[in-house]
Amino acid sequence: MEIRTIGVVGGGQMGSGIAQVSLMSGFNVVLNDVSDEILGKSRAVIGKGLDILVRKEKITAGDRTRMAENLRTTRNLSDFSSCDFVVEAATEREDLKLSLFRELDASVPAGNILATNTSSLSITRIASVTARPDKVIGMHFMNPVPMMKLIEVVRGVRTSTETFDRTMELARTLGKEPVPANDFPGFVANRILLPMINEAVYALMEGVGKAEDIDAIMRMGANHPMGPLALADLIGLDTCLEILKVLQEELGDPKYRPCPLLRKTVEAGHLGKKTGRGFYVYDRA
Ligand code: NAD
């Protein structure tokens, strides 16, 4: 079946980006979140993203208008009955994702694929709460979605080859480069990235260096485009903490224990760029 309408659950930084690239590739998008205020903000973020493309002359003003018109927002997952393919990008919490997948399974036509953008959680377990485990898959976009090429495509134990092939094809249609990874906690990207970020937070907590200096050393010394603490702020410190908890619990190795400073910063509500403060302070205007 041809994919014409993509459903996106969660209008945060990842969901907004996934909606934007889907609109840019000519799809209709139905975007779901819990409040009209969040959906309004998400629509504004997507609008700004499209404006940048008009300014760079990558799309015309007419394209921008058409793309914005192809976006529908809703607080009700029952509106996903028109979706041919769904990408879930809500907050990284297993209980939430399991309940969303039960709801999606009831709302989205039975033959259609349900993908999750989870950073770390078991695709197999998420699939198991649905009546279509063969049609559930991990589609792990990178942040910021409009700029980053990679999508990690993760098969659960029961994901079918057809679902995998169709998801790889959709990723390419979105202008991305899909790479497969197996269903282990954190897959490949976060299995390697998050221990590095966690170690940088330990280095900060133990006074090995100031935040700016830790980041400068890793940028210039390891040739990373941004330092690990700035990257953690970009990802969201709540998301980083959740991923580390999954790695620690699921792999059972204390080497993944989240740094107490990371926990404390999240408890303070300093979640990084999205709240205006994390390891750095940001101008939210
Ligand atoms: P975010 O905090 O920016 O956004 C999460 C959104 O989910 C919020 O708008 C929230 O209101 C919404 N939400 C919560 N409960 C919901 C519900 N019941 N129904 C619908 N929406 C709900 O987080 P994010 O950074 O966009 O991350 C979203 C997902 O993408 C997570 O699974 C995360 O692990 C994953 N991810 C994040 C990154 C990153 O760098 N931030 C990268 C790849 C994948």
Answer yes or no: is the C-beta of 244 below 6 A from any ligand 1 atom: no
What gap in Å lies between CA 6 and CA 18, rounded to an integer? 10
Q: Which fold has domain 189-275?
A: N-(1-d-carboxylethyl)-l-norvaline Dehydrogenase; domain 2 (1.10.1040)
Asked about 152 being catalytic, the answer comes back as yes
Asked about 99 being catalytic, the answer comes back as no
Answer yes or no: is the C-beta of 11 below 6 A from any ligand 1 atom: yes
Residue 86 and residue 59 in contact, taking contact as beta carbons nearer than 8 Å = no
What gap in Å lies between CA 114 and CA 139, rounded to an integer? 10
SS3 for 148?
coil
Answer yes or no: is the C-beta of 186 below 6 A from any ligand 1 atom: no
Q: E strands along 15-74, which residues?
A: 28-32, 71-74
Asked about 270 being catalytic, the answer comes back as no
Question: Which residues share a beta bridge with 88?
Answer: 9, 116
Residue nearest to atom 20 of ligand 1 (CA): 33
Question: Which residues share a beta bridge with 153?
Answer: 139, 180
pTM of the model: 0.96
Answer yes or no: is the C-beta of 92 below 6 A from any ligand 1 atom: yes
Nearest to 80 by CA among 1, 4, 7: 7
Domain ranges of the chain: 5-181, 189-275
Answer yes or no: is the C-beta of 89 below 6 A from any ligand 1 atom: yes
How far, in Å, is the centroid of ligand 1 from the Cα of 21? 16
How far, in Å, is the centroid of ligand 1 from the Cα of 284? 19
Amino acid 32: pLDDT? 98
How far, in Å, is the centroid of ligand 1 from the Cα of 227? 23
Q: Which residues contact 284 (CB under 8 A, 6 or more apart)?
A: 276
> Which of 88, 92, 152, 242 is labelled catalytic?
152
Instruction: For tokens 């953690």, name the residue.
Output: 232
Answer yes or no: is the C-beta of 90 below 6 A from any ligand 1 atom: yes
Question: Which residues share a beta bridge with 182?
Answer: 155
User: Fold match between 5-181 and 189-275?
Assistant: no
Q: Hey, which of 14, 92, 125, 235 would you mutate to test ligand 1's pocket, going by the most ligand atoms within 8 Å of its Cβ?
A: 14
Is 5-181 a domain of CATH 3.40.47.10? no
pLDDT digit of tens for each residue in the chain (285 aa)?
799 999 999 999 999 999 999 999 999 999 999 999 999 999 999 999 999 999 999 999 999 999 999 999 999 999 999 999 999 999 999 999 999 999 999 999 999 999 999 999 999 999 999 999 999 999 999 999 999 999 999 999 999 999 999 999 999 999 999 999 999 999 999 999 999 999 999 999 999 999 999 999 999 999 999 999 999 999 999 999 999 999 999 999 999 999 999 999 999 999 999 999 999 999 865
Nearest to 202 by CA among 264, 251, 276, 117: 264
Q: Which atom of ligand 1 is nearest to the CA of 141?
A: 43
What gap in Å lies between CA 217 and CA 211, rounded to an integer? 10
Amino acid 283: pLDDT? 87
Answer yes or no: is the C-beta of 32 below 6 A from any ligand 1 atom: yes
